[in-house]
Structure formats: structure tokens, C-alpha cells
A and B are shown apart, each in its own frame.
Chain A
């Protein structure tokens, strides 16, 4: 499984756009890129997933360049409630192994 590398922590202020980049140099052809959010004392929550180019939903956008060796999670106009740990995962949908491995994650601190 491809290993991911993310910044350990990031700070931002309310109302700013936050971009968190994840490196996954060994991503395989079948692998998708998935981002999760985790608040203290809770299980992770799915945010967004993509394979290539750009994906957008009501919560975030995911940008994936053509070589797919990295991806960027973009959170528009963050609020204090976006303070959490964000995990980038790389794994295959089509295989039946189903394994999803979490890395260390990025702790985002949003300040007033």
C-alpha cells in the first residue's frame, strides 16, 4: 500500500481557506485518495475521495495533479469547528482486500 506524508500540524484563522497537501509517491494505478476528519474522542469521518483532477462536495475540494503523486485538500473559509485532525489515505476500491491504512494526519488549529 502506498505510504502518505502530510504536515504534522497547521494553523489558520477563521474565514481563511486552508490547503493541506499529502504526498503519495508510490500510488498504484488502482488506488483512490480519500480524506478523513477526526475530532477529539470521536471516530474519523469521511470527507472526500477522488482519483484524478478535481472533486468538490459541500464540505471540501480535492485537487489531484496528473501524476497523482500528491493531493491537496482544500477547506474553504474555515471556522473554529474545523479544528481537527485530517488524514489522507490511499487505497484501492476495486480490489477485495479493502485495507485502508491511516498515516499520522495533520492537526489543523483554527484560531479566532
Chain B
């Protein structure tokens, strides 16, 4: 299993540009989420999904859109990039049932907005 994969690893955008951060998992996990982590800070939840067709907002959803058309994929769209969105973005997934709050994280995408 590849686990959770994210592309690209690095991205530089200009203010106002849009782009999509890709996230995929091959573990058949129902739950997927996106976090951002600013330098020296903890992770903040942007959006999450408990299954295909179901998404909801986290702590900092403004400026981001998500969709979940399949169990495997959970792309994050930046509508109009701003310097305040410069951050490292992590995607994570886990099962919903059972005894574990164990989320599996991807390697992250480092985004710089100029």
C-alpha cells in the first residue's frame, strides 16, 4: 500500500492564482481531512469528509474548497491564492469504525504564495 499520497510536494503561486492540491489514499478509509501548518505552529483543520459526497468545514475553511467524489481522492482547491495561505498542507485519512483515532498523514505539500 502506498498509504496517503500528496502532489505536488512543492508549489509557488502568485497572489490571485488558483490551484488544486491532490490527495489520495489506498486504504479504503472513509474519513479524510486537510490540515495546514504554519511555521512553528500546530496543525489547523481546514476541511474534512466522512465519505464520498460528504464534506464539512473545519477550523479555517475560508479560501478553500473540497469535494469527495470517490473514497480514494480528496482534492483541496485554493480559489484565489493569498500570501496568508503560505503554509505546509497535510492530508490525512482514517477509518471511522473501530477503536482507533489513528490518522495516517501524507508527506505534505509546501505552498508559497508570493
Q: Mark A69-112, 1 if CB is under 8 A from B, else 0.
A: 00000000000000001010101010011111111110000000
Query: DSSP class of A's interface residues: helix, strand, loop or mixed?
Result: loop
Instruction: Report, as a range, how many residues of chain B touch the other chain.
Output: 20 to 34
Contacts of A85 in B (CB 8 A): 42
Instruction: Report B4 CB to chain A, min CB distance, Å.
Output: 8
The answer to whether A43 touches B48 (Cβ under 8 A) is: no
Task: Say yes or no: A98-B105 contact (C-beta < 8 A), given A103-B42, A104-B41, A104-B42.
Answer: no
Q: Which residue of A lies closest to B110 (CB)?
A: A41
Contacts of B4 in A (CB 8 A): 43
The answer to whether A44 touches B105 (Cβ under 8 A) is: yes
A-B contact count (CB 8 A): 67
For the complex, give the distance between the alpha carbons of A44 and B101 in Å.
13
Interface size on A, residues (CB 8 A): 25
Q: Mark A29-45, 1 if CB is under 8 A from B, else 0.
A: 00010101000011111
Q: Which residue of A lies closest to B57 (CB)?
A: A99
Question: Can you report 7 residue pairs joining A to B where beta carbons are below 8 Å apart?
Answer: A36-B103, A43-B92, A43-B105, A44-B43, A45-B105, A102-B43, A104-B41
Which residues of A does B touch, CB under 8 Å? 32, 34, 36, 41-46, 49, 85, 87, 89, 91, 93, 96-105
